[in-house]
Structure 1
Amino acid sequence: MLSDVKLHVKFKLFALWCSVIFFYIYGDYFELYQPGKLQDMLTGNTVFGPVSQGILLGMSALMIVPALMPFLSVALPAGASRWVNLVAGTLYTAIMILAIRGGWHFYVVFGLIEISLTALIVWYAWTWPKDADR
């Protein structure tokens, strides 16, 4: 029989956010192979309009939160970590539900996995054990 170690919910959240970030990166990378995507990037067009500092700042802000969540999940006190994960997990689940509509099949698959992972983040945060040993 194999032994298993009980992981604290903070480490589970850490791992889930790391997985989410990898799916974001790979989904966006593979999207560049869609015909016209790279040309749009080279000509300065985005789904939000022409490239500007404001557009890039907004897109960066959207990715800063999930990129910080692995650290915040383990570094914040339990109560703050729980609420930050509840809010961020819910927000990024909703964003991905909106983003995958009309996407190519690979993007929809990645999106469904991202939705599952962020929903799992919400579930772990919502059911955060009161017992300090978990």
Structure 2
Amino acid sequence: MFCYVYGDYFELYVPGKLQDMLNGEMALGAVTQGLLVGTAVLMAVPSLMILLSLVLPLPVCRWVNVCVGLFYAAIMLLILFNGAWSFYMLFATIEIILTLQAVWLAWHWPKNLQSAT
């Protein structure tokens, strides 16, 4: 999550980025309430996954972690190949590695808690 935040924060230093923001433009087009709500949901999911990983039943938790992890890794791969600046590529690479590690761990969780002890 910190890589997402730092990447977006450092991106504010990219020449022209602040002016685009002042003009109401984002990477996905003109800023609208719907676009900002969608972005907020996208950014809230990693935080929610911490709680969900603790409270969901193990089989559901496994599949939610695998699906969400693969989805976020795919998003970061798209950013990597979209001509991002080097600092953003570094953060994206770290995010992909960490997210795929979470997917791998979820995939290899024991089928039940008793076999984990």
SS of the aligned residue for 2:43 comes to: helix
Highest relative contact order (Cα 8 Å, sep 6+), 1 or 2?
1
Q: Distance in 2 between matches of 1:129 and 1:35?
A: 48
Which of the numbers 10, 18, 22 marks the counterpart of 1:30? 10
Q: CA deviation at 1:58?
A: 1.5
Aligned length: 114
Alignment TM-score, normalising by the size of structure 2: 0.91
Alignment of 1:38-117 (within 5 A): 38-101=18-81, 102-117=83-98
CA offsets, 1:32-52, max 9 Å, x none? 010011111111111111111
Which amino acid is the alignment partner of residue 123 of structure 1?
Answer: W
Cα root mean square deviation, aligned: 1.2
Partner of 1:124: 105
Which amino acid is the alignment partner of residue 96 of structure 1?
Answer: M
Which amino acid is the alignment partner of residue 98 of structure 1?
Answer: L
Q: Distance in 2 between matches of 1:67 and 1:37?
A: 26
Q: CA deviation at 1:23?
A: 0.6
Q: Distance in 2 between matches of 1:122 and 1:44?
A: 36
Percent identity over paired residues? 54
For structure 2, the residue ranges without an aligned partner over 5 or more in a row are: none
Alignment TM-score, normalising by the size of structure 1: 0.80
